[in-house]
Structure 1
């Protein structure tokens, strides 16, 4: 996520009371209990309840349920909050737990649900190099339910004419076009945040969350999101949820009644982050610079959460686990990973791994060099004693190298030298590689509209080491640049009345169909290409802007040749690559289907790539 600029807006939020058995002047005292429910049989037997209500710390709390024990009750400076730590033993049965609140001769009861854990069908499956992630900005993909475009419980209303406004895309729209996504050939969905963003403006992107437990009603319901995950699993696909620990939205319900002053990182006057993530790993960084990075605000409408507060840290970790368990998630992408308290983020990683050992967690780590990025993807403890436990990072160094290599007069050597730094990572094969996302201008536009160069970037993304991620709309040659509202444009055909429907071939131009078919062929071949999924990478120093590399296992070998030059090569000599070609006599280009019966020389067309499935 990038810095966004909006004027400071003070938002008044009307709290809606939970239904409780309350006997005090017919008033509802309880406003929030979170998590809203939990499960028995979790590996971590600890559960923290955030309880919010009018002077709730005046009440005594009792729970009489087999297997449940109140370990501690904590008051904070705001009398409207209590934090109750429970021990849920491994033998506890699912059911309804009555929480009794008593004050003198007055009492009220809240029924808290403990649910049985579902069997996770995808345990051990994880997300790895066999997958391709498809990133969707839900508001801009498809509008499946126009009735929820504007809702009574949210401030900002639909305005498709405003590039920064809400356009009406929703979860049902993704479900309606699920076959398009599946047929395209990707294996995994990643949605920009779908949780409630009750901001007065610029709320469509999802990163100003106002309720961490609720799907934004303009996108649908929690059940709708779960239905999307279920459908994905039924079709052999996976789902990654975008989560945010660094900040919330200024419209969050607790902003009118903070539990404590240190719930947020607060300054005497509004203070931006310095947005320089290198400081997080800089051994010589000043405290002032470090504090600006980790405690400065992303924007005036994005209050910075203070994860040094242990109650808030536990709240956020539990929320993350809650969504995994509730929706049966396959992975999490954590926004702005270097910004929050490092110890808290390390604790989050360990908590998730304890519950879900093979779970995929990718950190947004916006760093331009591998040396910066390796601080987070490092299997060993860093020299300062910090261990991140992150199992995947966003490979921005490789992204920047792609833009440079395939840009005007670019030299593909840039890719070679960037990959040569992989020794610095704990596991570079887990890096998420991408040639575009919601925070960058469309790659086709950054490459000057050169479709041939764009194809080369796609071939590289889909065949190099790592876990590839593509951005919606790139397959139909979207090419707009910033501002963000333009590059996150609506997918044509996702709205009733659109002049064309690019979800079907008849609604795409010839050039768009050529690009879609090109990628579809590679993606569907890739699903069974174990050499790409698990194979070792061996590359050769580029010569005359031609880059050759191999992905190989003991049983499969794939040769990739990228001619990034503006010249055809009538007879490209392959003798140099004999150590990787030994034992192989021919190969089939999976893009064109052409069979190359000899591997002595090969004709290369300018600005094209070959993906050769080698045969013995």
Structure 2
């Protein structure tokens, strides 16, 4: 018996080996299938697979898996691409299914994974007025893993001496200093893009993405990012991902083999965008100006994606959803929002909202005036028939008002005047309010290294209407200005061998600790201040450079007094504000802990703010 079956087994093994080897060789034709996997139970049952391989359009495609239906197989202009449109029914079971590629007698198979949706604790909880966002440039925060400073699969190597180079910060560095972030009191993390940026130079910032589905190996892995999200959720915190639809990096894998000529916005020669975002909402804009805004390139190394191409639009929308589902994101910050095709961005907003109702999405919208910023934050259809569906915008008009108000000889009336125009917005309480970010000079330096003015800007940012966002390092008096690589400086103590460690109180100067503790006090009080989270804003026209406003609900009331002048006020009369604190007779300054037993008059020092938690 053994003598008869042994040769048969050997023959079968040899045949199977040859078969698998033939399949392996054939599968080398396939270069990319994206998204790399998907989930069952999504509200949108449609899935577009981008399939890239040598003359892949010559192949017939078959799928046999219960609940998965091939709707269409669409060939691209380039025969190396197919866009495979699938329908995944509601009752489809998770598992692996085979995608068969058939050409005559040749057949190759690709295993595609459908995963079960996982409910994580606090996943998708949304970001709102109860939160404070902390923006981190990962390459410049902390180097937790020196072994990935330079990697074999990326071109640019670490060079910490070059302010435009890669310095080695990574996701593990953020995880290693998570306790510092938690102690500080912020509730939400926003990282500048961490996806792969395989560029010869200037790749640290993350906005030249070369693989939309992969974490840059110099930052870590997809699993490392997911670990950061999970740890944030376990600590009652949230995570916002920075995404980019307007452009990719010149090192993206498809740049050597585009699906079609219109995959990018291409010109006869390099043509830059005009960067005039007001054109997007200008009712009198010329077509040539509009095309230059939306189709011009940001840089020679940042090819402009053409979202008017429906395959590209679907690709980017699915990528966004993929990261939300994979990592359990709580929000998205969309880079350069006014630049891509408006209709595609509107479709993205609707797709995300449909899949994740209440999901937080903030648009980067550089606009100096509320009038044209409101084009994007408008609950109604604009006069041109366009509805953006954006639920949060970056409040640049208020940012510029902060700089003007607290700058040299500044008048705080500018803040009052800017907020008075909130009637143009759909919901101004969802605006992201900030006094610094990765694109602007450090607030401390801009304000002439004046600690008192910096504190006033922090008080206003953290107590006015909207969702506050702070930039890493401003709490320890980082002060550098442009160029970008300089203002995005390394956090002291994040690198082995640093002369000091500003993540610890002993590693900070007295002034740095003064500011850190000042902001920390406000942040940790703010976590439970429902008057700030949910309260309406009532403010009073500033007099003598003193601004008074209230954040109030039916049960809580907070009074903020900002003396932006260089004069001490020994007896500041509160009678004028009685209508806003009627029913309240005393208050506690949450910054100093001082009790105020009456609300008739109050003393307030020059360039000083009071945050009074009013009591009955």
Query: Do these two structures clear the TM 0.5 threshold for a shared fold by scoring above it?
Result: yes
Deviations 1:424-470 (A, max 9, x none): 00000000000000000001111111110010000000000000000
Q: In proportion to residue count, which structure has more helix?
A: 2
Relative distance call for 1:109 and 1:451 in structure 2 (3 A) is same
Name 2:7's counterpart in structure 1: none
Specify the SS of the correspondent of 1:415.
Answer: helix
Name 2:572's counterpart in structure 1: 572
Name 2:85's counterpart in structure 1: 85
Matches within 5 A, 1:242-257: 242-257=242-257
- Whether the aligned pair in 2 keeps the contact of 1:21 and 1:110 (CA below 8 Å) is no
Matches within 5 A, 1:58-137: 58-122=58-122, 125-137=125-137
Name 2:192's counterpart in structure 1: 192
Matches within 5 A, 1:53-452: 53-122=53-122, 125-452=125-452
CA distance in 1, matches of 2:528, 2:236: 14
- Whether the aligned pair in 1 keeps the contact of 2:158 and 2:168 (CA below 8 Å) is yes
Report the CA distance between 1:80 and its aligned residue: 0.2
Report the CA distance between 1:126 and its aligned residue: 1.1
Name 1:493's counterpart in structure 2: 493
Report the CA distance between 1:122 and its aligned residue: 2.7
Report the CA distance between 1:358 and its aligned residue: 1.5
CA distance in 2, matches of 1:540, 1:124: 37
CA distance in 1, matches of 2:22, 2:279: 51
Structure 1 residue runs of 4 or more that deviate by more than 2 Å after TM superposition: 20-27, 120-125
CA distance in 1, matches of 2:100, 2:428: 52
Name 1:37's counterpart in structure 2: 37
- Whether the aligned pair in 1 keeps the contact of 2:124 and 2:331 (CA below 8 Å) is no
Specify the SS of the correspondent of 2:394.
Answer: coil
CA distance in 2, matches of 1:124, 1:325: 9
- Whether the aligned pair in 2 keeps the contact of 1:21 and 1:108 (CA below 8 Å) is no
- Whether the aligned pair in 1 keeps the contact of 2:124 and 2:328 (CA below 8 Å) is no
Report the CA distance between 1:110 and its aligned residue: 0.4
Matches within 5 A, 1:451-600: 451-600=451-600
CA distance in 1, matches of 2:123, 2:143: 32
Name 2:16's counterpart in structure 1: none
- Whether the aligned pair in 1 keeps the contact of 2:480 and 2:486 (CA below 8 Å) is yes
Report the CA distance between 1:25 and its aligned residue: 5.9
CA RMSD for the aligned pairs? 1.0
How many equivalent residue pairs? Answer: 597
- Whether the aligned pair in 2 keeps the contact of 1:123 and 1:358 (CA below 8 Å) is no
Specify the SS of the correspondent of 2:377.
Answer: coil
CA distance in 1, matches of 2:518, 2:295: 45
Name 1:16's counterpart in structure 2: none
Report the CA distance between 1:23 and its aligned residue: 3.7
- Whether the aligned pair in 1 keeps the contact of 2:367 and 2:396 (CA below 8 Å) is yes
Specify the SS of the correspondent of 1:313.
Answer: helix
Report the CA distance between 1:352 and its aligned residue: 0.3
TM-score of the pair, normalised by structure 2: 0.96
Give unpaired runs (5+ residues) of structure 2: 1-19
CA distance in 2, matches of 1:517, 1:77: 59
Specify the SS of the correspondent of 1:320.
Answer: helix
- Whether the aligned pair in 2 keeps the contact of 1:24 and 1:106 (CA below 8 Å) is no
Specify the SS of the correspondent of 2:351.
Answer: helix
Specify the SS of the correspondent of 2:69.
Answer: strand
- Whether the aligned pair in 2 keeps the contact of 1:21 and 1:109 (CA below 8 Å) is no
- Whether the aligned pair in 2 keeps the contact of 1:406 and 1:457 (CA below 8 Å) is yes
Report the CA distance between 1:165 and its aligned residue: 0.1
- Whether the aligned pair in 1 keeps the contact of 2:123 and 2:329 (CA below 8 Å) is no
- Whether the aligned pair in 2 keeps the contact of 1:296 and 1:304 (CA below 8 Å) is yes
Specify the SS of the correspondent of 1:381.
Answer: coil
TM-score of the pair, normalised by structure 1: 0.96
CA distance in 1, matches of 2:288, 2:432: 32
Name 2:14's counterpart in structure 1: none
- Whether the aligned pair in 2 keeps the contact of 1:22 and 1:109 (CA below 8 Å) is no
- Whether the aligned pair in 2 keeps the contact of 1:350 and 1:389 (CA below 8 Å) is yes
Name 1:8's counterpart in structure 2: none
CA distance in 2, matches of 1:120, 1:234: 10
CA distance in 2, matches of 1:79, 1:23: 21
- Whether the aligned pair in 2 keeps the contact of 1:197 and 1:206 (CA below 8 Å) is yes
